[in-house]
Every structure is written in C-alpha cells, then in structure tokens.
Structure 1
Amino acid sequence: MVFRPKIDTFFVHFIMIIVFLLWLVSFWPLIIFSGIVLVEFLLLLSVFVIGVSIISWSAFQINYEFYPDYLLVKGGPFVSRIPYDKITSVTLSNNIFSGYRVLSSRDAIEIFYKHALWGSVTIAPDYKKEFLHELTKRCPHAEMRV
C-alpha cells in the first residue's frame, strides 16, 4: 500500500524561497562581474540546475510504502526501511525544521523507532487517518499518541 505526502502552501513557499536563494547565490557573480565568459556562465547555470533538481526531487518525489515486514519511506535519494518490530511510538508533530523528515506539510506524524540514526522520522501522509490505521494493524505493539 502506497501513500503520497500531503503538500501545503507553506511548504511550497518555503521551497520557492530556497530556490530563489540558490538562484541568487548561483548568479551573483553575473551581477557583480560584467566580464563573465560563456564557460563560466554555463558552470553557474549547471550548479543552479543541479541544485534545484536535487531539492525538487527530495521535496516532491515522496512515498510511504507498506511492505510485509517494513515501512519504506522514500524522499528523492533518501530511503529508509523501518521494520515494524522496531517502531516504538507514533506522535503528532508540526516541527518540520529539525530532525530527519521526509515530508511536505506541517500536519505531520513522527515515528520513533529503535536503531535510528536520529531516533525518529517525521512524515506527512495525505490520508493520515488511513495511514495510521494501517500502521496500527502492522505495529500493534507501538504506542500511538495521536
């Protein structure tokens, strides 16, 4: 079963600001120096395009997939396999700026699990109630504080 992320306007505006700042940093030499040659321009353009591609891939290619033995959380190049028997608790969260998060909304849930590098992952499935119901079926031992 696959769940897509919820996307809110705050997140879209936040990504737009990051892309604008990346554009500003990438093309600042064009504003300061008037003698930029074609090779330098192409280098600045490629840095900008690669940066925006990685940010867009990470921000908008997100899936949460239930497999028989684990929950797969994918966000661009970042993939986490969370075994159901390692999940300890699930809580509501609106903190999207700290910790390991694969989301695009402030209306999120945080999944705590053993042996995690950061201790938890914050996600924001579009159909949160259905997601939590499926997670409860697969992790009856986990403490659900939602």
Structure 2
Amino acid sequence: MTISITLFVILAVFIIPLSLDKERTIIDTIIVLSLCVLSIGFILWSAFSIKYVFYQDHLFVKGGLFRSRIPYEEITRILTTKEIFTGYRLLSSKDGIEIYYKSSSLGSVKISPKDIEIFISEIKKRCPNVHFDK
C-alpha cells in the first residue's frame, strides 16, 4: 500500500506540472518522463529485490543498491518493530525486526523476513549471545 501511494505521488509530481506547462518542448517532455521512469524504477527495484542470505560468517541483507554485510559476532540485539518510517530499512512490510550491530553507521537495520520466527531461530543458532526483545 505504501509503495502504491509513493508511486502515485511521484507520478503526480512529474506529470501534473508537465501537463500544465504550455511552453514545454519535446526535450522537456523527454527529460521529465525519463526522470519519472527512473524514479519509479528505482523504488520498485529497491522494494522487490529485497533478500536476506545467511552465509557461514555473516548475514547479507540487500535491497536495490543498498546492501549490508553483517558479521554474526557484531550483532548485539534484535527486536520486533512496526516502525517503518525511520532509520536504515530494507523491508517490504510493516511487521519486521530491527538488527543492531556494532559496525553499523546508523546503529541498526530494519528488515522484514517472510517468516520472522524461522529467521530469528536461524539467528539464534548463529548468534547464541544476542539479546532478543519482543
């Protein structure tokens, strides 16, 4: 739902001014439509390419251009979250978890695995000393 609203707003921001400009040239139209397509494409790519992969020594989190390699020994705390509008987030739903780790420039990353319970049990296997909050 959030992605749909975002895409609609982006479309409106680009198309409405373009349609109201009576003096626009074909070059103006091409540039504006190109920027619109690139913006929408970037959001869709970021939203639909999200994946989380457990490697032997780290968790790999990826969404579009954004990626994090989180060594298991650096994970300090994991908590469930419904706050999707703040912080560094690579999630596709409002129900997710926040992983705090030492080398994070922003302190944590918010993710939304399909099955949170299976994801947390896998983290527990790989990070037995991590603190969990519900």
TM-score over 0.5 (shorter chain): yes
Per the alignment, residue 36 of structure 1 pairs with 24
Higher relative contact order (CA 8 A, sep 6+): 1
Q: Secondary structure at the match of 1:136?
A: helix
Structure 1 unaligned residues grouped into runs of 5+: 1-12
Per the alignment, residue 100 of structure 2 pairs with 112
Structure 2 unaligned residues grouped into runs of 5+: none
The counterpart of 2:3, out of the listed 1, 9, 15, is 15
Q: TM-score normalised to the size of structure 2?
A: 0.95
1:58-77 matched pairs, under 5 angstroms: 58-77=46-65
1:40-73 CA-to-partner distances (Å, cap 9, x unmatched) read 1111110000000111111111000000000000
Q: Alpha-carbon deviation of 1:115?
A: 2.1
Q: How many residues get paired?
A: 134
Identical-residue share of aligned pairs (%): 43
Following TM superposition, the consecutive aligned residue runs of length 4 or more in structure 1 with deviations greater than 6 angstroms are none
Q: Following the alignment from structure 1 to structure 2, what is the Cα–Cα distance between the partners of residues 66 and 141?
A: 17
Per the alignment, residue 98 of structure 1 pairs with 86
Q: Secondary structure at the match of 1:122?
A: strand
Q: Following the alignment from structure 2 to structure 1, what is the Cα–Cα distance between the partners of residues 107 and 17?
A: 41
2:107 pairs with 1:129:
no
Q: TM-score normalised to the size of structure 1?
A: 0.88
Q: Alpha-carbon deviation of 1:21?
A: 1.3
Q: Compute the RMSD of aligned alpha carbons.
A: 1.0
